[in-house]
């Protein structure tokens, strides 16, 4: 099964970062969750009143910064994903 976003929604995979403190790697549960992710899939774009669609500004494979409280966490086939509106993405990392 796959996640196929609709409209201006985006499927992300949260980027995992390991943090070392005093030579010890902290587990994910002890770290602040990063607001960085990789775009896995994008929707068709927001439907405009004239019937056209606004093109998406992000593409598959982009590394992005996002507002974590606007993302919906989803688990599919034992893997964690995030679904967020493109409006919740604040920057593309180049």
Write down the pLDDT at residue 31: 55
Question: What is the CATH number for 16?
Answer: 2.30.33.40
Residue 71, Cβ density class (10 Å: 0-12 exposed, 13-18 middle, ≥19 buried): buried
Reading the chain (94 residues) residue by residue, the pLDDT tens digits are: 789 999 999 999 998 665 666 666 655 555 566 689 999 999 999 999 999 999 999 999 999 999 988 999 999 999 999 999 999 999 999 8
Determine the structural domain holding residue 57 and report its residue range. Answer: 9-93
Question: From residue 4, how far is each of 38, 43, 76, 81, 83 by CA, in Å?
Answer: 15, 7, 12, 12, 10
- The tokens for 80 are 């964690």
Task: Report the number of distinct structural domains present in the chain.
Answer: 1
In a domain, residue 51? The reply is: yes
């Amino acid at each position: 099964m796959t996640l196929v976003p609709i409209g201006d929604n985006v499927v992300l995979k949260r980027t995992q970062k390991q943090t070392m403190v005093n030579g010890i790697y902290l587990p994910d549960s002890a770290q602040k969750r990063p607001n960085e992710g990789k775009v896995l899939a994008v929707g068709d774009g927001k439907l405009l009143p004239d019937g056209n669609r606004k093109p998406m500004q992000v593409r598959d494979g982009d590394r992005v910064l996002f507002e974590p409280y606007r993302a919906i966490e989803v688990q599919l086939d034992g893997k964690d994903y995030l679904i967020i509106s493109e409006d919740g993405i604040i920057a593309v990392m180049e």
